[in-house]
Amino acid sequence: MDDVLKQITNPYLPSWEYIPDGEPYVFGKRLYVYGSHDKFNGDVYCMGDYVCWSCDINDPGTWKYEGVIYKKSDDPANTDLQGNLYAPDVTIGPDGRYYLYYVLSNWGVVSVAVCDTPAGKYEFYGYVHYEDGKRLGEREGDEPQFDPGVITEGDVTYLYTGFCAIPDKSRHGAMCTVLGPDMVTVKKGPEFIVPATHNSIGTKYEGHAFFEAPSIRKRNGLYYFIYSSQVCRELCYATSERPDGDFVYRGVLVDNGDIGIDTYKRADMPGCYCANNHGSIIEINGTWYIFYHRHTNGTNYSRQGCFEKLVPEGEILFRQSEITSCAGFPFTKKGFYPAYLACNLFTDEEKLDVPWSGWMDDRFPKITQEGRDGDENYGYVCNMRNTARAGFKYFECRDLKVVSVRTKGYANGRLEVRTKWDGPCLGSFPISYANVWHDTEGVVEIPDGVNSLYFTFAGDGYLQFGGFTTA
């Protein structure tokens, strides 16, 4: 399994790690990802401290755990620890140090921490404030701050924030605030740059207005504003020639339910259960990627980071990326593939969203793990009932055979293999009751070429699917 997992996979971190809201950056020759920190079986968002993972830009299949970089107890206003560390962002200040911007879950102001290195121990630095000392978000007329995104150019830092839930009309959109060289003092703003749902009617943003998760990048002299739209599950983008306004809506970068993708299904058919989304874009060795997150355990509160290649269309636009198990790098190695790599998960009963109120009901399969949060156990797909499908994309197939499947559970029937979710069955494995993981052998020959593998359960009961072996 370890050899298989040295390939580029989604999620890109170990299956027991839950880092959503990913902000990727290349510093030196390493790619660093900063995000919030969910827990397995968590009951609210972002229960953990900030940690960081990194990889060599030439080896994005091998990630290094950099450790805890900031604890929620490090903020002096969080003495009772009631504030969770929501989605952060990082920028390099004019002094060459690394500045971490974040908002506590119970307080609508922006906190800042600082470190001399990208992934060292950050120390609390201060709160973003006006020149009179009043904190941004607390002056009369200010809207609460949320999900900071930052970019620094010279002595100026542009701070992007906002949260605009439907149908709250008191929030007006994404904001841009200009900070001075000390990284915390407001020099201009905040000003609204992308509208919320209620004030987007009649604009190009209508249907894809700003909800949350602002992020900013620069490409070919243009500023790319990435955000989660009113649709929640999608990351959209807008561009401008200047960082503080005139942004033009451009489209969808990724949708964690694959709505809008019609290459393997109907465009309106959900390819996976989904909910909120947050991430950004990054260029690595000349190729652009979109980082986003998926939902596991049938809940909103155990999210994992994924990424995909972005395909440019002209000088400005990107095509919407399809969600995959391999980030666009087809698997080539033969061996055991754990089921948590499934990028498609659904049944004949189409369901799109994981409920905001908590847990998805047991009619539907979900990715989960054994043990408690922090236990290094590989994830698997549980509760596969009749017609449940787990899809894995993509494989570079050359004389490829599926030789066994790993299952357990109160189930009787068969696990069928296809290269299309609705395609002809290419073989099957008999399934019977088992209370411990076991492998069932068989031979399924897959056509040569780049293929998906879909495993469909046909039978009674509920199957736990641990993975499959290719040879």
User: Tens of pLDDT along 41-69?
Assistant: 999 999 999 999 999 999 999 999 999 99
Beta bridge partners of 292: 306
- Give kind and range of the element (H or E) at residue 397: strand 389-397
CATH classification at residue 412: 2.60.120.260
Q: Tell me the pLDDT of the chain averaged across its residues.
A: 96
Would residue 330 count as lying in a domain?
Answer: no
Q: Are residues 182 and 118 in the same domain?
A: yes
- Quick one: pLDDT at residue 355? 82
Catalytic residue (choose from 38, 147, 212, 308): 212
Would residue 348 count as lying in a domain?
Answer: yes
Would residue 327 count as lying in a domain?
Answer: no
The residue from 319, 351, 384 where one domain ends is 319
Would residue 325 count as lying in a domain?
Answer: no
The residue from 319, 345, 369 where one domain ends is 319
Catalytic residue (choose from 21, 23, 38, 322): 21
How many angstroms from the chain centroid is the CA of residue 243?
25
The residue among 393, 338, 324 whose CA lies nearest residue 370 is: 338
What is the SS3 assignment for 4? helix
Average pLDDT, stretch 410-435? Answer: 97
pLDDT bin (cut points 50, 70, 90) of residue 1 is low
pLDDT bin (cut points 50, 70, 90) of residue 189 is confident
pLDDT above 80 (res 298): yes
Q: Assess whether 206 carries a catalytic annotation.
A: no
Tens digit of each residue's pLDDT (9 = 90 or more) over 425-449 = 999 999 999 999 999 999 999 999 9
User: Global pTM?
Assistant: 0.97
Q: Assess whether 21 carries a catalytic annotation.
A: yes
Domain of 414? 336-470
Would residue 156 count as lying in a domain?
Answer: yes
Beta strands in 128-219 (DSSP E): 149-153, 156-161, 173-179, 186-195, 210-219
